[in-house]
Structure 1
Amino acid sequence: MFIAFRREVEAALEAALDDLGYPTEDLGIEEPPADVPAVLASSAAFRLAGEAQAPPPEVAAEIADAVDLADAEYVAGVSTQGPYVNFAPSEAYFEGALADAQSEDWGRLPDTGESVVVEHTSANPTGPVHVGRARNPILGDALARVLDYAGHDVTSEYYVNDAGRQIAVFTWAYETFDESDLSEPEREKDDYDLVRYYRKGNEFLEEGDPEDVEEAEAEIASIIESLDEGDEETLARCEEVVDTVLGGMTETLGRLPAEFDEFVKETQFLRDGSTHGVVDELRESEYAFEDDGAWQLDLADWGIEQSFVFLRSDDTTLYTTRDLAHHEWKFEEFDYAVTVLGEDQELHANKLNAALDILGNDTDQLEEVFYAWVNLPGGESMSTRQGTGVDMDDLLDEAVARAEEAVRSRMDDRIRDDDLTEDDVERIARQVGIGAVRYDIVSKQPTKAITFDWEDALDFEGQSAPYIQYAHARACGISAEAGDLEPALDAGLLDEQEERDLLKAVARFPGVVEEAAMDREPHQVATYAREFVDTFNAFYRSCPVLREDVDDDVAAARLALVDAARTTLANALDVLGIEAPESM
């Protein structure tokens, strides 16, 4: 309804401005304040006041008089308030929102016919997932979800870095050291088991006898060279290590959850020869030059001072070279490619774009979403570059434990009337704890650094996942207690202010999904969900559904509104990758 309403407003405004001889490139459409009885407003009068040589309120009145709503189905009227032109909804708008939101697919937009690959996380498979990676999988997974809801054919990709020095060191160490050389694993999990070899190997290379280290470095160099040549035996040796560690890492990521449709390996582009094809093509470029045996690109024309090295002096390729082949593969397979990257990767991304441009690619197909680091309480950075020794599993375990403590505290305070079983407590603790971590991170604008705070994240009354989850559980409880009462799709009976406000909030959901997908900002959905709960709670306090003194027809209509709110909340949480508990 909201999207259809907005399009009717756009058409009516554009026609009115054109008739008045005003430019139509900026309609100034925005949402009005909560106390204004409209769905959308236009601030175009501000922009046009100079041209009209009249104050904005006078221009707004002129625009409103010129608006023709004869063909509108969902816009009932137009009015002004100072410099704003406000557009009010029709009964068809409310009826349509109430009916459409009964569907489990509510909020999903029609197929766009466009395919999008979202690459995120892509942590090096050298050990357990670190909390420094927390924002990447949470943001990336939510972005993939919102694009899916917006009608795109979305593929979530984990790009596996399995061909660099780190993997060569890991493979050498795994084949060199015995269990007796290692410390006890921190967890009974494959990634924790194998990371001990990687740590032992690095320790040896830093502190071992120089002659032994020299011999080890020669073996590692041989592995790197063989990988670069696509040697199948070496690829198999490294693959054993990579796949084992990656299995443990994805198990951890699955707890968030962060799900992947494809695991694309660096070595794919060595095996198929495309990486060396990129090298050959770049060498022929007018921007290529050789310095001390290494081949580089001069990127001054792109405003980048640093050169781009694409071939070492020993004729081995780099991660960045293989990533060029990877992106050319993406451009062949998908209409658009989105990559989620930490803010420290911006220079790398700019260089990559320039090199792709030199190779003749349409870089409009590629977009990066950058995020700032998350800080731990006390100010410690969660950046893997700085490192704090905190693993993702530890963070999630603590989240669940803290959530369980909060649930039991609420039970002790008799906030709940019904009894919870131990299974219920464990379920709620998992849903709330992990949801709290996820929401606290995804709800913030990606480019802003954030400090993770346990009390805020687990606040059942504040701007948090538990606050939203509890509202969903409350709506489920009302529906469950309705008994034989059947919901009635009669918006005409919902004429209280709180009912109309909730209907308008329900109707907005598809528009929020569309805008969040266009802007690549899942946090817009998080903000909407939190504000939606405020509106739902106002309705809950003022408009009882199942009380004996409520007329049966009104109760049935309110029950349908509760179901619409429940579906809206469930799907908003689903976009964010957060579970929607049916009871709490």
Structure 2
Amino acid sequence: MFIAFRREVETALAAALDDLGYPTGDLGIEEPPADVPAVLASSAAFRLAGEAGAPPPQVAAELADALDLTEANYVGGATAQGPYVNFTPSEEYYAATLESAQANGWGRLPDSGESVVVEHTSANPTGPVHVGRARNPILGDAVSRVLDYAGHDVTREYYVNDAGRQMAVFTWAYENFDEADLPEPGRDKPDYDLVRYYRAGNEFLEEGEPEAVEEAEAEIAAIIEGLDRGDEATYERVGEVVEGVLGGMRETLERLPAEFDEFVRETEFLRDGSTHEVVADLKASEYAFEEEDAWQLDLEEWGIEQSFVFLRSDDTTLYTTRDLAHHEWKFDTFDRAITVLGEDQELHANKLRAALDIRGNDTDQLEELFYAWVNLPGGESMSTRQGTGVDMDDLLDEAVLRAEEAVRSRMDDRIRDDDLTEADVERIARQVGIGAVRYDIVSKQPTKAITFDWEDALDFEGQSAPYVQYAHARACGILGEAGDATATLDADLLTTDEERNLLQAVARFPVVVESAADELEPHQVATYARDFVDTFNAFYRSCPVLADDVDDDLRDARLALVEASRNTLANALSVLGIEAPASM
């Protein structure tokens, strides 16, 4: 309803400005401060004061008088307050909000007709997922979810780097080392099993006898060359390693969960010849030059000092070359292409964009979302594995363990006849623990570095996933306790400030989704959810729902508001990729 309300305000303001002879280009629509009893306000009077030759408060009063709201359904009135015009909702606005928010799809926007591919994570399949990259799958998944809620046709893509030197080294090591000579795997998962070969191979190449290393390098070069020329036998050899490691990585990512629709392999753009077509065309470009037996692009025209190398001296392609073909496939397949990247990849992204421009692509289709790193505080008792730092599996295990301790502690403090079963405790610990990790990461602006803190992340009373999840569970509990009572749509009975504030907060959810999708900022949804819980808790404290002294009609209207709140919280958590427990 908020979106419809805003459109009515825009229409009425534009008409009033036109009638008064003022330009309608900037309506100055904004959300008023919390202490102003309005849904939207206009600051257009500031802009118009010079042209009107009058102070802003006088212009605002003139504008308020000129507004015609007779055709509006959801705008109940407009009044001037100093230099602002404030717009208040009608009773129909509240009623329509309550009715719409009781539907399971509340917050979803109409289909936009736009297809979007979101590439995220895309970690090289060389071993277990590392905590340092945790922000990529969590942020990428949340961006995908908010775009989906905003009506876009979203494809979530993992770009599998299954060509190049790393995979050649991995394949050579897997074929040449005996498992009996390797340490025990850290976990009973294929990525932990296979990474032992990769580490042993790299150690050998760094410290082995020169003649043996030279022989190994020749075999590795042969694998790289076989991949580049499309040799099927080489693809099969490399694929055995890639698919094994990728399978283990996917198990970890599914715990977050980070969902993918497509696993697009780098070698696909060697198999179909598109990479070599890119090379041939780039060689003919006015920006191409050959130096040190490598073909490169001069990118000074784009303000980039480093050249873009697209063909090695041995005539094999690079990751960057194959990524050009990959992105051109994206442009042909989707309307928009979004890539989630660590801040250390910004130079690569700029060089890729320049090369795509040289190739004649419309790079307006491409958007990069850069993020800063996630750090762990010193002294955390989390396992490390032979120089790899903390694995994602370790972080998630620790999160679930700590969440279980918190749940059991709260149970001890509040013994009830319907105490949770062991299965309930395990479920809630998983939902809360992993939700805490996701919320703590996604709730921050992507460009700000994060130091993950367990106490903050698992604080049931603070700015955390458990705080939001507990409010959802509380709403479920009220509805469950209501028994045969029915949630009845009668917003006219909801007249207190706490009830109206909660109704307005419910109504804002779709526009928060819209804004978060437009700005690629899922943290807006996290902030909204946290603030929504504050508003819901104020209602819970002041407006009893099932008390004996509440008459049936008011009880049923408040139940409808609780149901709308539950749906809002559930869907906000869903946008963030966090489960909404029915009990905690």
* Length-normalised TM-score, structure 2: 0.97
Provide the residue aligned with 1:414 in structure 2: 414
- Aligned match of 1:131: 131
Deviation per residue, 1:62-81 (Å, 9 max, x gap): 22122221211110110122
SS at match of 2:508: helix
Unaligned runs of 5+ in 1: none
Amino acid aligned to 2:84:
Y
Equivalents in 2 of 1:168, 1:5: separation in Å? Answer: 59
CA RMSD of aligned residues (A): 1.6
- How much has 1:61 moved relative to structure 2? 1.6
1:302: Cα distance to partner? 1.2
Using the alignment, how far apart are the partners of 1:185 and 1:337 within structure 2?
A: 38
Residues 342/416 of structure 1: CA separation in 2 closer, same or farther (3 Å cut): farther
Q: Deviations over 1:213-234 (max 9, x none)?
A: 1110111111111111111000
**CA 15–243 in structure 1, closer or farther in 2 if over 3 Å, else same:** same
Contact 2:133 2:374 in 1 (8 A): no
Deviation at 1:60, TM superposition (A): 1.7
Cα distance between partner residues in 2 of 1:206 and 1:45: 70
Paired amino acid for 1:543:
C
Deviation of 1:23 (Å):
2.8
Work out whether residues 107 and 509 of structure 2, in 8 Å CA contact, stay in contact via their aligned partners in 1: yes
CA distance in structure 2 between the partners assigned to 1:52 and 1:293 by the alignment:
69
Check the 8 A contact 1:505/1:532 in 2, yes or no. Answer: yes
Aligned counterpart, 2:327 = 327
Q: Does 1:70 align with 2:70?
A: yes
The aligned residue for residue 405 of structure 2 is 405
Residues 346-405 of structure 1: CA deviation (Å, up to 9, x unaligned): 11111111111111111111111111111111399x9x9xx7610000000000000001
By how many angstroms is 1:21 displaced? 2.9
Q: Which residue does 1:143 correspond to in 2?
A: 143
**Pairing 1:49-448 to 2, within 5 Å after superposition:** 49-378=49-378, 389-414=389-414, 418-448=418-448
SS of equivalent to 2:537: helix
Report if aligned partners of 1:375, 1:451 keep a CA contact under 8 Å in 2: yes
Instruction: Tell me if 1:459 matches 2:459.
Output: yes
Answer whether contact 1:138 1:256 (CA < 8 A) is retained. Answer: yes
Aligned residue identity for 1:453? D
The TM-score with structure 1 as length reference comes to: 0.97
Q: How far apart are residue 418 of structure 1 and its match?
A: 3.4
TM alignment of 1:472-491, pairs within 5 A: 472-491=472-491
Q: How far off is 1:36 after superposition?
A: 1.4
In the alignment, is the contact (CA less than 8 A) between 1:126 and 1:195 conserved in 2? yes
Alignment match, 2:559: 559
AA aligned to 1:13 is: L
Separation (CA, whole Å) in 1 of partners of 2:116 and 2:514: 15
Aligned to 1:534: 534
> How much has 1:56 moved relative to structure 2?
2.2
C-alpha displacement of 1:555: 0.1
> Which amino acid is the alignment partner of residue 469 of structure 1?
Q
Deviates more, 1:23-32 or 1:415-424: 415-424
Amino acid in the other structure paired with 1:343: E
Correspondence for 1:573: 573
Q: Which range is displaced more, 355-364 or 255-264?
A: 355-364
SS for the counterpart of 1:428 is: helix
- The alpha-carbon deviation at position 18 of structure 1 amounts to 2.5
1:31 — aligned with what? Answer: 31
Match of 1:502 in 2: 502
Judge conservation of contact 1:173–1:201 (CA < 8 Å) in 2. Answer: yes
- Could you say which residue in structure 1 is the equivalent of 2:549? 549
1:418-440 C-alpha deviation (Å, 9 max, x unpaired): 31111111111000000000000
My pick for the range that moved more, 260-269 or 448-457, is: 448-457
195-204 or 36-45, which moves further after superposition?
36-45
* In 2, Cα distance between equivalents of 1:496 and 1:388: 56
Moved more, 468-477 or 72-81: 72-81
Gaps of 5+ in 2: none
Identity %: 83
Deviations 1:497-546 (A, max 9, x none): 11111110111111111111111111111010000000000000011110
Aligned 8 A contact 1:410 1:416 in 2? no
